[in-house]
Structure 1
Amino acid sequence: MTRYDGERTFAALPPVRGRGSVRTWWGRAWLAALEGTALDAGQLKAGRGLARAGAVGAVSVRPGRITAVVRDRDGTAHRADVLLQELSGEQWDRFLAMAVERAGHVAALLDREMPTHLVEDAELAGVELLPGLGDLEPECDCGAWDHCGHTAALCYQVARLLDRDPFVLLLMRGRGERALLDALQARGDASAGPAVRPEGVDAAEAYAAGDILPSLPDVPALPTEPGIPPSLDTETAPGAGIDPRALEFLAGRTAAQAHRMLAEALGEGHGPRPGEPEPTVARDAVRLAAGDPGRAAADRLADGSGRGREGLAVAVRAWRHGGPEALDVLDGEWTPDAGSLARARAALEAAWDEDERPALRARANRWTVVGACVQLRLGRDGRWWPYRKERGRWVPAGGAARDPATALASAERAFGQ
């Protein structure tokens, strides 16, 4: 979700299966305003299907209007808008006065709840928060004069957003969350009178009582997957030199990396895995490129990594086989010490019978099969990595294996030998 002054943009929601995708009473009240107004039940059914199938793109919410691109099942894109009357300045004044008198209403909103008594008290103050029949006005470039499948899909999608955050409705009515809270704070300060010294505990007493404080809560459960990255698909033009798609990709990859690091911290202790190479800018460029960032961003990563397009493609292949350890084997050549060399030779001798053992030519940690474009590289952890020569360049051919024969076989399978 992306915020601008007076506008919020929500990333496209994933498809939904089963019944009851809208859970809250205010979300269902929003849909009642749609379903009680639309003249064609078939269009409502079509819109509900499009929304549940994930055909609604990022939703832009601003005072008086919601907007999204909705794709038909054949892929045709349509811009859909739904308009809702903003509250007047006088109506907002009445709402704020009512909310200041009843602090529970503000607390409920901050908990992303819209209790029925809040809506009822607003109605008594002459303020209609939820839309009624005929209040949701459709506009769509498909040319329909009433609610079509595209505007209906947008409304069904917004109902899911309202489930999560009723401030979305208040923004449509004319006030964003920050502006509304600031206005409530200003009214509360004005009505509070002279400042009163807050009650509390002396700092020295609190420190002295440290040994009787309760223990920290348990570590929360790790989310099963990274969060949904923000969407920058808005009508606001980006600043000079800013690529919104590249920023969206970077945010998504950062979330995935943070999720991985958190999983390691909770399961294996803080910091990188034992033996994992230290991160660098060049290595991070390969990690990002492995996430398929698109042609433009990939070209920038190729330049920034110093590898060029072909070199980055080879590095990405290595990364996908084994992450930073595989990249270290691709880039680094090292000479094993006497102990490591003896273990490597013993592993090579044990991997094949004497009459089947391939002839190998050794250089540093690299053993090349004589007469073939196949190579084994020894990692610092004692594992073997298969390589194959393509167009004069050694490229990774598979993941690492403890057994050199297994690694060699994976190289041969990868290239159809």
Structure 2
Amino acid sequence: MSDKQWWTEQWLDLINSYHFKKRLERGWRYAREGNVLSIEFQDQKVIAKVRGTEPEPYQISLWLDTFSDEDWGYVTENMSQRAVFSAKLLAGEMPQNIEDVFAVAGKRLFPFNLSDIHSQCSCPDKANPCKHISAVYYLLGERFSEDPFVLFQLRGRTKEQILTKLRQLRGKGEESIAKVNSEENSTIPNSQVPIPNSQFPKVYQFWEYNQQLESSLVVIVPPPTSETVLDILGPLTLVNDGDKTNKLASSMDAAMEYLRKIYQDVSQQAVLTALNRGEAD
């Protein structure tokens, strides 16, 4: 199993989709041999130096199309409304379904294909990507592994900008909830008003939840093992009584096999029912 994060794998899959594999192989070799002398981020561009056949290293620049302020406004607003997204990003992780929040603005975080990555190299090779650009592509995958926010930066927002905005939006949401709770408390008799700390749920609201559940928090999967109660109990112990015991044992084996089949069918049906209900909701 690969130890690379999924977002790094997705970047490498994008690069490896290039049809001219020999050129990619030369780029990979350049990267492994240490010919990429430096990689820096200047605003929304990647600037790199790669050693080639000339005395001076070649200059490479790489960039993606950036998003407008309005697009980023939609994206961060959407992120802030998903607790899981905010938590993962604040922890330095890329949420698995991150593209959902970009789709709201009609955008994609990851390039759709290699032609979406703009690049230039000072080498005489007219093909793009050349082996020098390909080497930078591969090493960028390692940078993404270390810091997933690099990809956000190429789209026009730094890590600090995104996290600051998320904290602001999450803070406003909590203030709104506190205000609503305060107004609700004013309509409750004094004897029933809970401790005035709006971040805690009210006792009388304990069984209430009017919001739609975050889909990523609800995971429906088959049982982790095929073991059933029958397997845990084990075979029945029968008294040795000659031929009668042998016939009874044979009947018990058939009954156990039948019950195992029922357990399996019921388990599968339960998962399908839950999945269908989830889609309907």
Verify same fold: TM over 0.5.
yes
Higher helix share: 2
Query: What displacement does 1:63 show?
Result: 4.2
TM (norm. structure 1) is 0.39
Counterpart-to-counterpart distance in 1, 2:168 and 2:91: 21
**Residue 118 of structure 1: CA displacement?**
2.1
Q: How many residues align?
A: 180
**1:110 equivalent in alignment to 2:90:** yes
Q: Which amino acid aligns with 1:138?
A: S
The structure whose Rg is larger is 1
In percent, how many aligned pairs have the same letter? 26
Question: Against the structure 1 CA distance between its residues 71 and 25, is the aligned structure 2 distance closer, same or farther, given a 3 Å change threshold?
Answer: same
| Alignment equivalent of 1:99, drawn from 79, 86, 93 | 79
Task: Describe the shift of the 1:24–1:195 C-alpha distance in structure 2 as closer, same or farther (beyond 3 A).
Answer: closer
SS at match of 1:178: helix
User: Which residue in 1 is equivalent to 2:111?
Assistant: 131
Return closer, same or farther for 1:128/1:194 CA change in 2, 3 Å cut-off. closer
SS at match of 1:185: helix
Match of 2:92, SS?
coil
Unpaired runs of 5+ residues, structure 2, are: 179-196, 201-281
SS at match of 2:97: helix
User: How many Å separate the matches in 2 of 1:60 and 1:42?
Assistant: 27
**Matched residue, 2:121:** 140
Deviations 1:32-68 (A, max 9, x none): 33333x4532221111111122221231124432111
Q: Is 1:53 paired with 2:33?
A: yes
Is the Cα contact below 8 Å between 1:81 and 1:138 reproduced in 2? Answer: yes
C-alpha spacing 1:194/1:107, structure 2 compared with 1 (3 Å): closer
Q: State the Cα distance separating 1:123 from its structure 2 match.
A: 2.6
8 Å Cα contact 1:33-1:135 kept in structure 2: no
> In the alignment, which residue of structure 2 is the partner of 1:78?
58
CA distance in 2, matches of 1:157, 1:104: 29
Distance 2:172 2:119 in 1: 41
Q: Could you say which residue in structure 2 is the equivalent of 1:159?
A: 141
Instruction: Check 1:107–1:58 CA distance in 2 against 1; reply closer, same or farther (3 A cut).
Output: farther
TM-score (norm 2): 0.57
Q: Greater relative contact order (Cα 8 A, min sep 6): structure 1 or 2?
A: 2
Gap change, CA 1:192 and 1:127, over 3 Å in 2: farther
Alignment pair present for 1:27 and 2:21: no
Which among 158, 174, 182 is matched to residue 156 of structure 2?
Answer: 174
Q: Deviations over 1:217-259 (max 9, x none)?
A: xxxxxxxxxxxxxxxxxxxxxxxxxxxxxxxxxxxxxxxxxxx
Letter in 1 for 2:82: R
Q: Where does structure 1 differ by over 3 angstroms across 4 or more consecutive aligned residues?
A: 73-76, 194-200
Q: Which runs of 5+ in 1 are unaligned?
A: 1-18, 201-417
Aligned with 1:68 (options 34, 48, 65): 48
| CA–CA separation in structure 1 for the residues paired with 2:80 and 2:177 | 17
